[in-house]
A and B are shown apart, each in its own frame.
Chain A
Amino acid sequence: MRKVVRGFYAIAYAVKLSKPNVIAAYPITPQTEIVENLAQMYANGDLGDTEYITAESEFGAASMVLGASAAGARVFTATSSQGLLLMTEVLYNAAGMRLPVVLVVANRSISAPLSIWNDIQDSISIRDAGIIQLYAENNQEAHDMVPLAFKVAENRDVLLPFMVCVDGFKLTHAYEPIDLLDQEAVDRFLPPYKPPVKLDVNNPVAMGCYAPPPYYMEFRVAMEYAMDRAKEIMLEEFDKWYEITGRNWGGHVVAESCEDAEIVVVAMGSIVSLVREAVKQLRQEGLKVGLLKIRTYRPFPAEDIRESLKNAQKVIVLDRALSVGAEPPVTADVKSALFGLDLEVYPVVVGLGGRDIPRELIEDIVRNVAEGKITPEKRYEGLNEFEEVIP
């Protein structure tokens, strides 16, 4: 059913259709409306047997979904920015305990200075936790990713938390037409959760044990193997999703106009659409430009990226986060995927803390790269000149 809705509603509605047993959440801008919508559905009795709990903090919310997941429940939470950082310890723990917690992150910058606006520093900061991360290009994709997240996370060969990353405000607060899923389609795709192990008096096990040196390393490496398996399993699920909904979002990456492209722009999240428009414009100008959308960020699709970019000469990576003191995070990952190939990678940081990313800015970057006006070194676009002073 196509309906004009806000992004946060599209997400909340997909959560409802996924029938989680327990939702625990704590509000934070710009995630708040996601959980407000779920709270309203709960208040209206529209969530069936789902328990909705208002937590005392994001830390508490994450801990509650962890506990509920250990008890065998399908669980959901959502957060942003500082909230995600506050959850971080628990999320690492959930990943290590192999609990399929699903969360939506309404991406927002990290304080200080305080900023409620969009970049992806928050989710990028916990890329090493053992959590699957998908970045939505638009609200339709965000809506579709939610049932998918449960399906993949709960797969016995995966059993890892799953994070759906959605640009705060830009997507969450946009009011636009969305093809809302129906219950029947979601039920067909996503069966009820059957936990392989749970807290059960009839079959007592201990979970969250501590592992001395003879065991610890195996547990961590086992997570890595699960991530690897998730790569294949996700592709299968993407296909099934297409069969059921008719919507094909592609695989871990989507390469557009890359076959003959000399320059390819790599992007993640809502700016992908903008880059696509820029590419169209630049193609009209005769520039051989392509777009590579990274959809799955963890597990990192290094082979897909290498395959897509092997014919390019210059690769521009648009990073919307920093790894202060090192190369921007997505650039670093892309570079490692391209190691040994004869091409140049241009790290370009844009759009931190909600800074505008006009289409013309992207076009200019590409033109400048094409004309050799800029070198493949870390640079910041859309940045004002400034001078540091101490009052």
Chain B
Amino acid sequence: MVKIKLYIGASNPPLSTSMKTGDWGTELAIVDEEKCIGCGQCVTFCPEPAVELVEKDEKKVAVVNHDYCKGCWVCYTVCPVSAIEMETKDIYKIEVC
């Protein structure tokens, strides 16, 4: 038996990120930082949110947090410069003998 901490009023402390959803899908969004123009469309549309703009080499690029990326393809579809590729996770790359 475990001892549970019960917040009265079924109240909950804020913003748990304990549920890592990065293992949900079969694919992951990968950003081609060369092509990325840092427009932020993917950030706006990502439902998780698992994408943010990060300053790299004096330009802003999208960075995907693979702990939470569910591989939904939404960023892929909204990227105006096709800088995002959807890559099959290694575990699903089955080699056929």
Contact = CB atoms under 8 A, between A and B. Distances in A.
Indicate whether A and B are direct neighbours in the complex (CB within 8 Å): yes
Interface of A: 96-99, 159, 196-197, 204-209, 211, 214-215, 218-219, 222
Given A204-B14, A205-B14, A206-B14, A159 B4 contact: no
For chain B, the bracket of interface size reads: 10 to 19
Contacts of A98: 8-10
Given A97-B10, A98-B9, 7 more contacts: A159-B8, A197-B9, A205-B12, A205-B13, A206-B11, A209-B10, A218-B6
Nearest to A219: B10
Which of B9, B14, B15 gathers most chain A CB within 10 Å? B9
Interface string B1-30: 000101111111111000000000000000
Contacts, number: 42
A294 to B, nearest CB: 29
A197 B9 CA distance: 8
Contacts of B15: 204
Which of A206, A209, A222 has its CB near the most chain B CB atoms (within 10 A)? A206
Contact of B9 (A97, A214, A215, A218): A97
Contact of A207 (B4, B6, B10): B10
Nearest to B13: A205
A211 B10 contact: yes
Nearest to A195: B9
Given A215-B4, A218-B4, A159 B14 contact: no
Contacts of B4: 214-215, 218
A234 B87 CA distance: 64
23 contacts: A97-B9, A98-B10, A99-B9, A159-B9, A197-B7, A197-B9, A197-B11, A204-B14, A204-B15, A205-B12, A206-B11, A206-B12, A207-B9, A207-B12, A208-B10, A209-B10, A209-B11, A209-B12, A211-B10, A218-B4, A218-B6, A219-B10, A222-B8
Contacts of B8: 98, 159, 196-197, 222
List the 10 shortest-distance A-B pairs measured between CB atoms, nearest first. Answer: A206-B12, A98-B9, A204-B14, A205-B11, A209-B10, A207-B11, A197-B11, A209-B12, A98-B8, A197-B9
A222 B4 CA distance: 12
Contacts of B14: 204-206
Contacts of B11: 197, 205-207, 209
B9 to A, nearest CB: 4
Contacts of B6: 215, 218-219, 222
A209 B16 CA distance: 13
A341 B13 CA distance: 49
Contacts of A197: 7-9, 11
Contact of A96 (B7, B10, B12): B10
Contacts of A207: 9-12
Interface string B63-93: 0000000000000000000000000000000
Nearest to B12: A206
B3 to A, nearest CB: 10
Interface centre among B4, B7, B13, B14, by most chain A C-beta atoms within 10 angstroms, is B7
Contacts of B13: 205
A100 to B, nearest CB: 10
A196 B6 CA distance: 14
Contacts of B9: 97-99, 159, 197, 207
A207 B12 CA distance: 6
A197 B14 CA distance: 13
